[in-house]
């Protein structure tokens, strides 16, 4: 299936923003929630769900539900492998070079207290240190995808969306914290701040819209008359966000209505408004495909580049102070890290191109060998003549 260039470009932009957000640099002022009260995490989850829903429906219609489910599970395994690789790097860095990277102790406090318990918990996705808590959520949400499509096929998408909304409502009561209170003394449990009960609503919503897009159906037909109102509300949220930045004061209702980890109501509404406003503009990115190729390559090879950049962010945090006392050196290091992303993507693209050309080269070589063998056989003195040669001789 043809890739959607605009989504790869968008994911490339988001990854570069994520690199800055994960650093102790003053550059974060420009990348941390610049368009409203939502971060790159919400965008990543929704875009990934959109693409997953689109691919699942197309595969299901072409090869059946079982084949689409198997493909999704294989994808989840690849994400799981990438997560374990980032954890292995971080554990080795923290174990062998802690004296040279002292701030890593803040990231790996549970691991340093009981390494074997943390390693065991990480295999079960129960131990997720900071910066390494997003990929486990992707694994679980990817495994949720075939369940969502199975439920939608049996009970309809309206029922699925209502169930997702109900789970999100439950998350607003902080039920997750109540359940985790019983495991606070277990050294192998550190699930991270993301509340899966809340964040699943972004995934299920993305799956729904993605599968409608794959079926050439209108995505949100009832919202067309409300576009002016949606635009004004999105601008109001943008103005509110930048006013809070310039004033240096956090929003008064941030503790609940704008909470990130439980996806507070106003945060969710703000993100939905921004999606409605920006979605029609994405197609225009195709006009700049050549100029935006570095970003396109980053989005195309998102998983390996993302994993490597997480490792680089951990190393950068380990070498700088969390209080931003190393400026402007920290910002210069972050800029250097930003440069590595397109370079890594280019290397992965070259490797992929080599793999794609290898089978065709082998097939051409095999065909040439067969032709040469036939020519040699017909030209040898003891070989029987072909039908045309026998007729001509007679």
What is the number of other CB atoms lying within 10 angstroms of the CB of residue 303? 16
Residue range 81-99, pLDDT digits in tens: 999 999 999 998 888 887 6
pLDDT at 204: 97
Residue 2 has pLDDT above 50, yes or no: yes
**CA pair distance 150, 160, nearest whole angstrom:** 10
Q: What is the pTM of this model?
A: 0.86
In this prediction, residue 107 carries a pLDDT of 83
User: What does the pLDDT read at residue 85?
Assistant: 95
Res. 1: pLDDT tops 60:
no
**Which pLDDT score is estimated for 82?**
95
User: Locate tokens 């949400």: which residue?
Assistant: 141
Each domain of the chain, given as residue ranges in start order, spans 9-364
pLDDT at 188: 80
- What pLDDT score was predicted for residue 218? 73
Share of the chain above pLDDT 70, in %: 85
- Checking if the pLDDT of 232 tops 90, the result is yes
Q: Do the Cβ atoms of 204 and 146 come closer than 8 Å?
A: no
pLDDT above 90 coverage of the chain, percent: 52
pLDDT of 259 above 50: yes
Higher pLDDT, 356 or 208: 208
- Express each pLDDT in 288-337 by its tens digit: 878 899 999 999 999 999 999 999 999 888 877 554 457 788 889 999 99
More confident: 176 or 224: 176
Amino acid 24: pLDDT: 86
Report, as an integer, the average pLDDT of 37-41: 93
Instruction: Give mean pLDDT, residues 342-367.
Output: 79
**Residue range 214-239: average pLDDT?**
83
Q: What is the mean pLDDT of residues 352-381?
A: 62
User: For the chain, what is the HEC assignment?
Assistant: CCCCHHHHHHHHHHHHHHHHHCCCCCCHHHHCCCCCCCCHHHHHHHHHHHHHHHHHHHHHHHHCHHHHHHHHHHHHHHHHHHHHHHHHHHHHHHHHCCCCCCCHHHHCHHHHHCHHHHHHHHHCCCECCCCCCHHHHHHHHHHHHHHHHHHHHHHCHHHHHHHHHHHHHHHCCCHHHHHHHHHCCCCCCECCCCCHHHHHHHHHHHHHHHHHHHCCCCCCHHHHHHHHHHHHHHHHHHHHHHHHHHHCCCCCCCCCCCCCCCCCHHHHHHHHHHHHHHHHHHHHHHHHCCCCHHHHHHHHCHHHHHHHHHHHHHHHHHHCCCCCCCCCHHHHHHHHHHHHHHHHHHHHHHHHHHHHHHHHHHHHHHHHHHHHHHHHHHHCCCCCCCHHHHHHHC
pLDDT of residue 327: 76
pLDDT at 249: 58
Q: Please give the pLDDT value at position 192.
A: 87
Average pLDDT over residues 129-155: 94
Q: What mean pLDDT is reported for the chain?
A: 85
């Amino acid at each position: 299936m043809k890739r959607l260039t605009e989504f790869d470009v968008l994911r490339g932009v988001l990854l570069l923003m994520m690199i800055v957000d994960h650093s102790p640099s003053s550059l974060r002022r420009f990348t941390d929630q610049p368009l409203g009260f939502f971060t790159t995490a919400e965008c990543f989850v929704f875009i990934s769900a959109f693409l997953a829903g689109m691919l699942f429906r197309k595969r299901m219609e072409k090869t059946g539900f079982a084949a689409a489910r198997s493909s999704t599970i294989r994808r989840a395994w690849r994400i799981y492998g990438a997560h374990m690789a980032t954890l292995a790097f971080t554990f080795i860095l923290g174990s062998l070079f802690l004296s040279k990277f002292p701030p890593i102790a803040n990231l790996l406090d549970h691991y340093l207290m009981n390494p074997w318990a943390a390693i065991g918990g990480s295999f079960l996705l129960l131990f997720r240190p900071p910066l390494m808590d997003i990929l486990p959520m992707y694994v679980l949400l990817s495994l949720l995808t075939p369940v969502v499509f199975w439920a939608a096929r049996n009970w309809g998408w309206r029922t699925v969306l209502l169930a997702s909304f109900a789970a999100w409502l439950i998350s607003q009561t902080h039920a997750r914290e109540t359940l985790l209170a019983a495991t606070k003394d277990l050294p192998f449990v550190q699930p991270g701040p993301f509340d899966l009960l809340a964040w699943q609503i972004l995934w299920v919503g993305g799956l729904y819209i993605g599968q409608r897009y794959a079926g050439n159906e209108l995505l949100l037909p009832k919202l067309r008359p409300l576009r002016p109102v949606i635009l004004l509300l999105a601008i109001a949220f943008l103005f509110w966000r930048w006013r809070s930045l310039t004033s240096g004061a956090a929003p008064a209702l941030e503790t609940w209505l704008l909470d990130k980890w439980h996806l507070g109501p106003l945060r969710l509404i703000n993100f939905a408004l921004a999606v409605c406003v920006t979605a029609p503009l994405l197609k225009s990115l195709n006009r700049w495909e050549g100029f935006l190729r570095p970003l396109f390559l980053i989005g195309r090879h998102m998983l390996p580049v993302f994993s490597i950049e997480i490792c680089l962010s951990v190393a950068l945090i380990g070498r700088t102070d969390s209080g931003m006392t190393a400026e402007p050196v920290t910002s210069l290091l972050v800029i250097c890290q930003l440069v590595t992303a397109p370079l890594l993507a280019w290397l992965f693209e070259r490797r992929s191109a080599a793999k794609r050309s290898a089978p065709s080269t082998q097939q051409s070589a095999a065909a040439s060998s067969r032709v040469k063998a036939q020519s040699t056989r017909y030209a040898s003195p003891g070989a029987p003549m072909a039908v045309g040669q026998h007729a001509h001789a007679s």
